[in-house]
A and B are shown apart, each in its own frame.
Chain A
Amino acid sequence: AQSVTQLGSHVSVSEGALVLLRCNYSSSVPPYLFWYVQYPNQGLQLLLKYTSAATLVKGINGFEAEFKKSETSFHLTKPSAHMSDAAEYFCAVSDLGQFYFGTGTSLTVIP
């Protein structure tokens, strides 16, 4: 069965600091992994996805994620946080077109 675990339901960083949001997956087949961002009272917007090409994936808004098979991880990073990055972030794994989402990480950016 496929699943994702997001460590840390709340993360706070200072503006300009590194953002690191953790995601570990469990999959019986080579995974397809996604990161989505959700702003209050809005739908989910795709940040980036891993589809077995390059292990370092670059997304929108300066975010990137690295697929590490040995650690079954797909952590999301951004070198310098901006106030507009404050939102909820979801990691998801895909299997046969069905997505399994993590419980989300709420990112707070402190001015």
Chain B
Amino acid sequence: EAEVAQSPRYKITEKSQAVAFWCDPISGHATLYWYRQILGQGPELLVQFQDESVVDDSQLPKDRFSAERLKGVDSTLKIQPAELGDSAMYLCASSWQTSGRSDTQYFGPGTRLTVL
């Protein structure tokens, strides 16, 4: 069964350092999402891609976060510099298409970030 891959699974960094997370969606999925999940809360969307284009990044803190999906396949989310409040689980998800309201989002295992 195809899965969304993410790496690393765990990352510990010091504040002010740069961190990067990688996501490889299910093959053929045009839409890719990055979520942040703070402990005890539901996932919150950071950025949404349709192929290589950003569809929604309204909740992405652009002063320190950046995301790219250059070839419309895998994606990288970067934080520079990291702050203590960035400690969270970062989840990647993919689906067939944006316009399908009933499309299921398939989630990767996530990257647990701890900022010291």
Contact = CB atoms under 8 A, between A and B. Distances in A.
Interface of A: 9, 32, 34, 36, 41-46, 49, 51-52, 90, 92, 94-99, 101-104
B42 A104 contact: yes
Contacts of B108: 43
A1 B107 CA distance: 24
A51 B102 contact: yes
A45 B107 contact: yes
A94 B103 CA distance: 9
Interface of B: 4, 6, 9, 31, 33, 40-45, 48, 56, 89, 91, 93, 95, 97-110, 112
7 contacts: A43-B108, A45-B107, A92-B42, A96-B101, A98-B48, A102-B42, A104-B42
Chain B, interface SS category: loop
A49 B91 contact: no
Nearest to B50: A97
A42 B108 CA distance: 8
A5 to B, nearest CB: 11
B91 A43 contact: yes
